[in-house]
Structure 1
Amino acid sequence: MSALFRRTAARPPQDRLVTLIRKPGCHLCDDAQAVVERVCADLGVPWEGKDISRDPALHDQYWEQIPVVLVDGAQHTFWRVDEERLRRELTK
């Protein structure tokens, strides 16, 4: 299956996965988590949180960008999470 097909194929929100990469004591991370929790609860999308202080690989990859939101493993946004943009991504 081509990358183009996977990207354009519609998937129900509950079949998606949002990952929030954050660290303790980060106010932007707290703000991002509030948005992720709200959007995912509204749409029935599962989400997970990952802490860069507990994962050296994530730290090396994302430490300058946190918070980072991944949708289905692909980077969606960083620093600030736009609620409407995340909703659009999860419902397309």
Structure 2
Amino acid sequence: MTDKDDFPDCFGDLEKVFPMGPNGLRETPEHCFYHCPVKTKCLQQALATKDGIQIEEEVLERSTKAGGISFFERWSRKKQAHRRGLKMKK
């Protein structure tokens, strides 16, 4: 699968490849995780969308509240995500 036409219909669709799970967190479905040969590229594509950038910012917020990252690291990562979002608008 190298040609874009060869990708499955769900390729890069955030709600199909990284949907919200029953516990309120996003999860990769089992059929994607174990059986899809392009799962890494697919998830990268899905997370590179505007909605994916918003999800990344939400994860950063939770990490900060849980003490996983510092304020400055969160600020830096959010700034990077924001810049990627601005590039998408051009």
Q: What is the TM-score with the length of structure 1 in the denominator?
A: 0.28
TM-score, normalized by length of structure 2?
0.29
Q: Which has the higher helix share?
A: 2
**Larger proportion of strand:** 1
Instruction: Tell me which of the two structures has the higher relative contact order, counting C-alpha pairs closer than 8 angstroms and 6 or more residues apart.
Output: 1
